[in-house]
């Protein structure tokens, strides 16, 4: 009986050992199967990217702003190019001699408030003066009285505004018309003081319409508007600008120019984990990370400088951000 128990115990132990062996062998087989079906260890992955090339070009540093087209202000040798004209005295509008959009010459009577009696007195004084029967002062006084009842164009230009009709009663200083010389326009913009530091008269200004208009910065205010924190900048427009008074436009003021500089597509210049600017050169099937110094940015390009960089070098654009050095790449440009 005792011998039978020993044999039975031995059989149980043997079966248990065989079960453990089979389990271990099965586990190893499954592991080998996973290794064969998965990616091998230490084999780099391939990243799909798009590329561009380094190019030589001219880039600009500029300040942008928005401004309003208006009549050019007075200068040392020219009067203002436009003016709002007010009634010189209270009265009734006798005649309106122009229409909006009409060209007028300097001295033309646009709106007449003068009575028949005043005009007759001027005519009488002229006749008497020609006959030497009145003084020059009397004639001048009569003409001054007439002038006080007429709205006269101070410059040659176009009537851009007309606010009265015959028979209408006007008060003194009521604006009745506006005349602007459309060949002498300017654009004025309020530029944030922080951006206006480098602005100076003579710099190129581009008015961003289609097609763009090139002008010259003529005035930069030395004072900051305390209400807006901005600086007034004004550019005189060419006579054939095609712009109109009151038009709202975007400006680009060129403050510096770099010619023949090496430039990269802006998407290719990224910041690495250390805060440095880098680009990834596409060398065959590898992306080689290269430190660069960046400069002016314009129209999707950025100025770059770095060791060994040259025109025509291929750089990673789409996919450049966060791309490790010496990554295997596959170029998939459209």
Considering the domain architecture, whether residues 98 and 153 belong to the same structural domain is answered as yes
pLDDT of residue 214: 95
CATH number of domain containing 319: 2.40.420.20
CATH number of domain containing 142: 2.40.50.100
Q: Whole-model pTM?
A: 0.68
In the chain, the number of structural domains is 3
Residue-wise pLDDT tens digits, 181-192 = 999 999 999 999
Return the percentage of the chain with pLDDT > 70, whole number: 81
Note whether residue 113 is domain-resident: yes
Note whether residue 247 is domain-resident: yes
Considering the domain architecture, whether residues 87 and 172 belong to the same structural domain is answered as yes
Most confident of 110-119, 128-137, 242-251: 242-251
**216/241 Cα distance (integer angstroms):** 12
Residue-wise pLDDT tens digits, 278-326 = 999 999 899 999 999 999 999 999 999 999 999 999 999 999 988 888 9
CATH number of domain containing 230: 2.40.30.170
End residue of a domain, out of 240, 257, 274: 257
Domain that holds residue 154: 81-180
Q: DSSP H helical segments within the chain, as ranges?
A: 2-37, 116-130, 136-147
**221/94 Cα distance (integer angstroms):** 44
**103/244 Cα distance (integer angstroms):** 15
Task: Confirm if 301 and 264 have CB atoms less than 8 A apart.
Answer: yes
Note whether residue 266 is domain-resident: yes
* ω into 211 cis (within 30 of 0): yes
């Amino acid at each position: 009986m005792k011998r039978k128990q020993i044999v039975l115990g031995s059989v149980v132990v043997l079966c248990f050992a065989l079960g453990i062996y089979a389990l271990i062998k099965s586990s190893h087989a499954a592991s080998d199967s996973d290794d064969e079906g998965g990616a091998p260890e230490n084999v780099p992955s391939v990243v799909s990217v798009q590329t561009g090339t380094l190019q030589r070009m001219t880039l600009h540093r500029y300040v942008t702003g928005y401004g309003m087209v208006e009549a050019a202000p007075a200068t040392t040798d020219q009067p203002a190019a436009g003016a709002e004209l007010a009634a010189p005295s209270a009265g009734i509008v006798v005649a309106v001699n122009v229409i909006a959009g009409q060209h007028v010459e300097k001295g033309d009577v646009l709106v007449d408030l003068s009575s028949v009696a005043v005009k007759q007195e001027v005519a009488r004084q002229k006749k008497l003066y020609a006959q030497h029967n009145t003084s020059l002062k009397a004639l001048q006084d009569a003409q001054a009285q007439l002038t006080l009842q007429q709205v006269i164009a101070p410059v040659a230009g176009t009537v851009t505004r007309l606010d009265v009709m015959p028979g209408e009663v006007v008060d003194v200083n009521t604006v009745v018309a506006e005349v602007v010389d459309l060949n002498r326009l300017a654009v004025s913009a309020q530029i944030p003081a922080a951006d206006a530091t480098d602005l100076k008269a003579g710099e190129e200004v581009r008015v961003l319409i289609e097609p763009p208009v090139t002008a010259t910065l003529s005035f930069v205010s030395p004072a900051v508007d305390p209400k807006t924190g901005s600086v007034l900048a004004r550019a005189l427009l060419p006579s054939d600008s095609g712009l109109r008074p009151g038009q709202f436009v975007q400006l680009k003021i060129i403050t510096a120019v770099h010619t023949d500089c090496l430039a990269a597509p802006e998407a290719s210049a990224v910041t690495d984990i250390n805060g440095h600017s880098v680009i990834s050169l596409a060398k065959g099937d590898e992306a080689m990370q290269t430190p660069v110094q960046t400069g002016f940015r314009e129209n999707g390009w950025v100025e770059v400088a770095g060791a060994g960089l040259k025109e025509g070098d291929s750089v990673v654009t789409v996919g450049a951000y966060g791309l490790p050095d010496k990554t295997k790449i596959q170029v998939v440009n459209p």
